[in-house]
Structure 1
Amino acid sequence: MVSGGFRLDLLLETAYLARSTYYYQLKQLDGHDKDKEIKGEIQEIYYEHKGNYGYRRITLELRNRGFVVNHKKVQRLMKALGLRARIRRKQKYSSYQGEIGKKAANLIQRQFKASKPMEKCYTDVTEFAIPNSTQKLYLSPVLDGFNSEIIAYNLSTSPNLEQVKAMLDQAFTEEHYENTILHSDQGWQYQHQYYHQFLEDRGIQPSMSRKGNSPDNGMMESFFGILKSEMFYGYEKTFHSLEQLEQAIIDYIDYYNNKRIKVKLKHTKISS
């Protein structure tokens, strides 16, 4: 019986509450919460990363801070705290304009991981549109498959050849590269003579996804998905100009490279 003369089992059944949950909550009210410190850390990490970290990344960050904890406990505590990671939305820009130039074989074959820096690199273009501007912004990055770092990028209001030229010059500064692959889709930029000549002059092997097969460029697709879900989707109306959006993208790439935890790399944070 509980206060008021009602049977506990009837109250729990009426409230659709498990007996174990009832006693757990009662314990938290009556006594010291042994998870108080870790809950505070979880909330701090969650809000520091603007709700973009799920339980796996929060678990890794907690371990970086010296906590011995597994992901299942973090998942349970996040649920109790009402914390959920933001969900990604998909929106794909395509630069494919047919077979207008030179294509390349798919050398990656979805084997994305690299054993050393600059062994497997990836590129693509994505589009940003905001209500407060009639223009759009295009991001063209190069991602290193060894550690998922963005090693070069260019932002432009037009996805033209000059954008790709600037990106290539920034990414590949050496005169020659040994066993380096640059993978892309079949966009017109990557079929252009200049693109292929640039790679050939530096010993870089071009590689291309099959037509209409986004998963063939999975690492680049993943980066774009993370980028947009964490700093763009849901925030479109907060950008009052393209210049403000451009600075937000620059800031995010710096955060992504230097602070955001890469789950596959476990405790490692990318350093520039």
Structure 2
Amino acid sequence: MQELKALGFPCSVNYVADILRKQGLKARNGKAFRYSQHSLEMNNVADNLLWRNFKAAEPNTKWTTDITYIWVKNRWLYLATVMDLYSRSIVGWSLDTSMAFKRRNVCAGLVIHSDRGVQYRSQRYLDFMARKGGRPSMSRKGNCWDNAPMESFFSRLKVELIYAEQYESIEDAKSGIFEYIEVFYNRVRRHSANGYVSPAEFERMTAIAA
């Protein structure tokens, strides 16, 4: 809807819904999150430094990260992403988080928020964060809303790409994910937290205004 408004076509949610209904179409909707409760021993759990304060005054001061699994033909593809909460830009995505540090100029004190997954509690990960000057932050046990921006990103990724494509190979999935994140999400997709401009456009506008 925001895309149509930007092109000069005034519309509303009901107007768009009515057009879709008449054409026999419907919007893609995500699936609700489901989290199981368990009582496994938790080691290396960091304090929750964000407390759902997902606003950042400057780039590279608050990042959030998470992992999702994508079924590709007959196996799981493991995807880790890092989001800068300043513009909601995906600054790193890979089988690890090192790409994000290569792409951004990071100062000591950067908060890096995650859930309590075993990957984020590993000593190797925590040592890596410490060497980069990062401050680990973790969600409360079983609380998905403490990492809502990343959960929302994964939901949209699967609705707008994964569920529609049904990839047959890991190579095709990686290519599709690259195009979605680097071409569409970061540079084109409008985000309500940015005043309905893309992450790249938001960072460009704020850099000019600074």
Alignment TM-score, normalising by the size of structure 1: 0.64
Corresponding letter in the other structure for 2:93: Y
Tell me, in whole angstroms, the C-alpha distance in 2 between the residues paired with 1:76 and 1:232: 26
Counterpart residue identity of residue 264, structure 1? A
Q: Deviations over 1:54-97 (max 9, x none)?
A: xxxx2x11222133445554444444444431011246699x99
Q: Tell me, which stretches of 5 or more residues in structure 2 are unaligned? A: 202-210
- Which residue among 230, 243, 248 is the counterpart of 2:176? 248
Q: Which runs of 5+ in 1 are unaligned?
A: 1-57, 155-162
User: What aligned pairs does 1:16-165 form with structure 2 within 5 A after superposition?
Assistant: 58=1, 60-90=2-32, 98-99=40-41, 101-130=43-72, 132-133=73-74, 135-154=75-94, 163-164=95-96
- Deviation of 1:211 (Å): 1.6
- In the alignment, what sits opposite 2:114? 184
Residue deviations 1:144-165 (CA, integer Å, cap 9, x gap): 11111110010xxxxxxxx33x
- C-alpha contact 1:64 1:267 (8 A) present in aligned 2: no
The answer for the alignment partner of 2:206 in structure 1 is none
Query: Which stretch shifts more, 169-178 or 259-268?
Result: 169-178
Identity percentage over the alignment? 35
Counterpart-to-counterpart distance in 2, 1:175 and 1:145:
15
- Are positions 1:235 and 2:165 aligned together? yes
- Pair 1:204-2:134 in alignment: yes
Question: CA distance change for structure 1 residues 218 and 179 in 2, over 3 Å: closer, same or farther?
Answer: same
- Match among 172, 191, 207 for residue 262 of structure 1: 191
1:92–1:108 distance in 2 versus 1, CA, 3 Å = same
Q: Quick one: which amino acid aligns to residue 85 of structure 2? A: G
- Could you say if the C-alpha distance between residues 129 and 68 of structure 1 is closer, same or farther in structure 2, counting changes exceeding 3 Å? closer
SS at structure 2 position matched to 1:122: strand
Q: Which residue of 2 aligns with 1:271?
A: 200
Aligned-CA RMSD value: 2.7
Which of structures 1 and 2 has the bigger CA Rg?
Answer: 1
Higher normalized strand content (fraction of residues): 2
Shift of 1:101: 3.5
Change (3 A) 1:93 1:125: farther
Q: State the Cα distance separating 1:142 from its structure 2 match.
A: 0.3
Tell me how far 1:235 sits from its aligned partner: 3.3
Contact 2:62 2:86 in 1 (8 A): yes
Mark the CA change 1:90 to 1:127 in structure 2 (over 3 Å): closer, same or farther.
farther
Post-superposition offset of 1:262: 1.2
8 Å CA contact retained: 2:82, 2:91: yes
Name the SS for the 1:141 alignment partner: strand
Return the letter of the residue paired with 2:141: K
Work out whether residues 122 and 220 of structure 1, in 8 Å CA contact, stay in contact via their aligned partners in 2.
yes
| TM, length-normalised to structure 2 | 0.81
- Aligned partner letter, 2:5: R
